[in-house]
Structure 1
Amino acid sequence: MEILFIYWNQFVHIMNSGGAIMWVLFSLNLLLWYGLGFRYLTLKRGTRGSVRRLIEKHEKRGNKKVYVGFLDYVVADSLKAYEKAKFISAKPREFIYDAIFPYAIESAKYATLVKTIVMLAPLIGLLGTVMGMIETFDALQSSSMFSQGDSIAGGISKALFTTELGLVVAVPGLIIGKILDKKEEQFTLEFEQIVDILSTKDEK
């Protein structure tokens, strides 16, 4: 516990050295990783193989479906919608779209939050640096740091903390966010494949 307390004090000292902007960036970082974590867990595809093969597997299993990942749930609900449309002799395409729509919303959840934080973090970090530099030069003007070169360098160094933290927040978020966006795009294509395969099933 004592070691944790020491580390906590060091963390608080570093954060306070950069001013209130550091805490803002820290909060944004927590939100960013929450959003990334949610998207990563949600966008797990599950069963490997083509969409057509996945549909065939679910049809063969019947009520004994095995749900491994996101796409398994989409296929299962799409098949239920298809059967419902078939039962009432309606065109299945709209029924299947309705079944897939909640999953399309789920796959895009927190994407906007991630992109917004990735764009904002460097700008907020730059704002903190500008504020820190202004404080440093104000101190120079009042001669309170005039005879202390180390203090000047220290003041500038502290001012740059926020820019550094802003980049630390943004760069991993940008990279991982792009990877997850690609997975979301892949799901969108697979959703369309599910609709097309099931909608034209009775035409064969």
Structure 2
Amino acid sequence: MSMNMHEYILMSKDLFNAGGYVMLPLIFCALLLWYGLGYRCWALRTPRKKTIHDMLVLYSKQPDQLAKSIVEQAAQRAVSLNAPDRKHLRRILDEAFYDYFKEARKFSVLVKTTVVIAPLLGLLGTVMGMIETFDSLGSMSLFTQSGGIAGGISQALITTQMGLSVAIPGLFLHGFLHKKQQKIERELTQLKELMCTQAATGQTTG
């Protein structure tokens, strides 16, 4: 088992060396991307499917019930802020819901930026590898200290592969999470409008 791990470490080291200087920022981008995606998967989770009305009824009857999603937290907060003599409820909810909208969008820009940067870094590595290849062809050097023709081609292919390997899964997951974000934002807006409508008409949740 330790031998296999040792071989894996050596293989990773060889791959890193073959990719050149671009591999370090690519790995950094991969870490940032998966940290942002992991956080967004956790923050945008929807444990149970409840309607907006069901959430309001639940938290009006059980205000201490654990809220497991952003919309449930917002519903719990909205019920606690809604009082018969509460004036300017819309402004109060706008201020209270700002944090929930912010939480739903957190790390979205980071993920989107990383998805764009990763293939560009891979392209940079490709260019650097091709320069090394043409330099070696010009001097007719199959092998040099920096790798020669084989090293240049290897660097070009490895960095291209690494850039795409980071960007493609991130692109699909970002699209999926962005749809969940938009759905949560719509539900937050619906929740706010429902509370304001009930307050204006004097209705109570239940």
So what's the TM-score if we normalise by structure 2? 0.89
1:32 aligns with: 33
Task: Return the letter of the residue paired with 2:126.
Answer: T
1:111 is aligned to 2:105: no
Amino-acid identity (%): 36
| Structure 2: gaps (5+ residues) | none
Matches of residues 51-62 of structure 1 in structure 2 within 5 Å? 51-62=52-63
Give the aligned residue type for 2:177. Answer: L
Inter-partner Cα distance in structure 2 for 1:47 and 1:144? 64
Is this contact kept in 2: 1:36–1:177, CA < 8 A? yes
In structure 1, the partner of 2:134 is: 137
1:94 maps to which residue? 91
- The alignment partner of 1:46 has SS state of coil
CA positional deviation for 1:187: 0.8
Partner of 2:70: 70
How far is the alpha carbon of 1:69 from its aligned partner? 2.3
Contact (CA 8 Å) 2:122, 2:160: kept in 1 or not?
yes
Distance in 1 between residues matched to 2:100 and 2:68, nearest whole Å: 15
Match of 2:186 in 1: 189
Q: CA deviation at 1:28?
A: 0.3
CA–CA distance in 1 between the matches of 2:48 and 2:75?
11
The question of whether the paired residues in 2 share the 8 Å contact of 1:121 and 1:167 is answered with yes
What is the distance in 2 between the residues matched to 1:47 and 1:75? 14
Unmatched runs of 5 consecutive residues or more in structure 1: none
- Residue matched to 1:46: 47
- Aligned residues: CA RMSD: 1.7
**Which has the larger displacement, 65-74 or 161-170?**
65-74
How many residues align structurally? 196
Letter matched to residue 127 of structure 2: V
- For the 8 Å contact 1:47–1:71, the answer to whether it is kept is no
| Equivalent-residue separation in structure 2 for 1:110 and 1:186 (angstroms) | 17
What whole-Å deviation, never above 9, does each CA across 1:108-161 have from its counterpart, x for those lacking one? 011000000111111110110001110111111112129xxxx74563133211
Partner of 1:177: 174
Give the secondary structure class of the aligned counterpart of 1:200.
helix
Q: Is the 8 A contact 2:18 2:154 kept in 1?
A: no
Q: Distance in 2 between matches of 1:101 and 1:59?
A: 22
How many Å separate the matches in 1 of 2:75 and 2:50? 13
CA contact (8 A) 2:105 2:181 kept: yes
1:46 Cα shift? 3.0
Distance in 2 between the 1:94 and 1:134 partners? 60
Quickly say closer, same or farther: Cα 1:42–1:82, change in 2 above 3 A.
Answer: same
Deviation, 1:66, is 2.7
TM-score w.r.t. the length of structure 1 is: 0.89
- Counterpart CA distance in 2 for 1:67 and 1:55 is 12
Runs (4 or more) in structure 1 with deviation over 3 Å come to 151-155
Give the superposition deviation at 1:81: 2.1
Q: Deviation per CA, 1:15-56, whole angstroms, max 9, x where unpaired?
A: 110101012111100100000000000001233121112111
Q: In structure 2, what is the equivalent of residue 122 of structure 1?
A: 119
Name the SS for the 1:26 alignment partner: helix
